[in-house]
Amino acid sequence: MNIRIVAILVLAFASSTVYAMGDDAKQHEMFAKMKQIKVDGMQGRISILQNALSCVNAATNHDQMKPCEEQERKAMESLQQQQKAQWEAAKPQK
């Protein structure tokens, strides 16, 4: 699944959850948590892409580039799973 679609869906759900809470302090706290998770995800993707770029730049043929692509894919999938777990953990308890 596309990471962007998941992020949009999670943000939409989390945003609706924040507004349903009704209390300004709780909204601010939830926003701060959501923002930090979002920033961490962006930094993680940047790091993965920088590593992939270094790997691809070092490759001299297609066979050397294949592991770079596979490593990037696996790292992005892992990051996506971590992000999902963080979003779930940050949800307010009912």
* pLDDT per position as a tens digit, 45-86: 999 999 999 999 999 999 999 999 999 999 999 999 999 999
Q: Is the pLDDT of residue 18 over 60?
A: no
Q: Is the pLDDT of residue 21 over 60?
A: no
Cβ within 8 Å of residue 38, ≥6 positions away: 7, 11
pLDDT at 6: 62
CB atoms within 10 A of CB 45: 16
Q: Which of 2, 11, 89 is nearest to 45 (CA)?
A: 2
* Cα(41)–Cα(65) distance, integer angstroms: 25
Q: Full-prediction pTM beyond 0.95?
A: no
pLDDT at 5: 67
